Structure 1
Amino acid sequence: MTEPTATQNLDRSGSAALPWSRARDLLATQTPKEDLTFFVGTVRPDGRPHAAGVGAIWVDDTLYFVSGPGTRRARNLAANPACSVSVRLRGLDLTMEGEAHRVAEPEVLERVAAVYREGGWPATVEDGGFNAPFMAASAGPAPWHLYRLTLHRAVGVATAEPHGAARWDFSR
Structure 2
Amino acid sequence: MEPTTKLDARFSDPTATATPWAQAREQLERAETYWLATVRADGRPHVTTLLAVWQDDAIYFCTGAEEQKARNLESNRNCALTTGASTLHEGLDLVVEGAAERVTDPGALKSLADAWESKYGSAWHFDVGDGVFTHPQGGEALVFQVRPVKVLGFRKGEYSQTSWRFSR
Same fold (TM over 0.5): yes
User: 1:128 corresponds to which residue?
Assistant: 131
User: 1:116, 1:131 → 2: CA distance?
Assistant: 13
Aligned counterparts, 1:23-42, within 5 A: 23-28=24-29, 30-31=30-31, 36-42=32-38
- Please show how residues 1-172 of structure 1 align to structure 2 within 5 Å: 1=1, 3-10=2-9, 11-14=11-14, 15-28=16-29, 30-31=30-31, 36-88=32-84, 91-119=91-119, 120=121, 121-133=124-136, 142-159=139-156, 163-172=159-168
Structure 1 CA distance, aligned partners of 2:5 and 2:55? Answer: 23
What is the match of residue 137 of structure 1?
none
Per-residue deviation at 1:110? 0.6
Q: Which residue type is aligned with residue 21 of structure 2?
A: W
CA shift digits 1:98-123 (9 cap, x unpaired): 10011001111010001111121211
In structure 2, C-alpha distance between the alignment counterparts of 1:56 and 1:106, rounded to whole Å: 18
Sort the Cα spacing of 1:67 and 1:23 in 2 relative to 1 into closer, same or farther, 3 A. Answer: same
1:12 Cα deviation (Å)?
A: 2.5
Runs of 4 or more consecutive aligned structure 1 residues displaced over 3 Å after TM superposition = none
Unmatched 5+ residue regions in structure 2? none
- Work out whether residues 127 and 143 of structure 1, in 8 Å CA contact, stay in contact via their aligned partners in 2: no
**TM-score, with length taken from structure 2:** 0.85
1:159 shift after superposition: 3.2
**Bigger shift: residues 88-97 or 118-127:** 88-97
Shift of 1:132: 2.3
